[in-house]
Amino acid sequence: MKYVIFDFNGTVLNDVDVCIKAENLTIEHFGLERGPLSKDEYLHLFTFPVKDYYTNVGFDWNRYSYEEVGSYWFDWYCKLKPEYKIYDGVEEMLIRNHEKGNRNILLSASSLVELKKQLEELGIKKYFDEVLGIDNIYAGSKVNIALKWIADKDPADCMMIGDSLHDLETAKAMGVDCVLVAKGHQAKDVLTKEYDKVVDDIREVELI
């Protein structure tokens, strides 16, 4: 059995513009002097853990708690749900992977409850054999989840598709091959500075 591990936000789900809108509403609400983020700024500032990204944006944790900032952002992210969609080519790839006899695994730093809800709303939950997420809304590390999942599998039978250097970090921790798609939450030059298996569209990825 072969396994293709898909990241969710920025790889399967095209929610970059929604995230930026929610971020700028959060920046305005908490009164940061920096003003709104442009898309280019966001793609170059975004990183994991997400708390470090908020620090890069200019949030002072002596004035605000990460939980209150994250909760405010998440509330707006949920309100803006009608504006996001899956990337072109994703559904076809999920179907093709099953036709090859492989299993589709979704791995995300999102809340597992929210993740399953989003997949149902998008109509693609049926394509995933396993859905792996975290137990809160604050976007922690996927590495521990990934290591537990792969413990009884051969890394040579797995590959990962993501959009961020955190996905690359996760793949390396598992010992699996990785391809990054430069359409998500980090700029292409940020990705290519660290890694050479970077494509512009998920349809360019060659499945195992």
The helix/strand/coil state of 122 is helix
198 alpha-carbon distance from chain centroid: 15
| Whole-number pLDDT of residue 114 | 86
Instruction: For 161-202, write each residue's pLDDT tens digit.
Output: 999 999 999 999 999 999 999 999 999 999 999 999 999 999
Q: Mention every residue, 6+ apart, whose C-beta is less than 8 A from residue 141.
A: 48, 49, 109, 166, 170
**Res 137 pLDDT > 60:** no
DSSP state of 44: H
For 54-72, what is the mean pLDDT?
95
User: What does each C-alpha distance from 66 to 69, 72, 134, 199 come to in angstroms?
Assistant: 5, 10, 17, 33
pLDDT higher for 110 or 205? 205
Judge contact between 139 and 166, C-beta under 8 A. no
Rounded to 5 degrees, φ, ψ at 131 are: -125, 120
**Closest C-alpha among 27, 46, 26, 31 to residue 187:** 46
Tens of pLDDT, residues 104-132? 999 998 888 889 999 999 999 999 999 99
Distance of CA 186 to the CA centre of its chain: 10
Q: Report the predicted TM-score, pTM, of the whole model to 2 decimal places.
A: 0.93
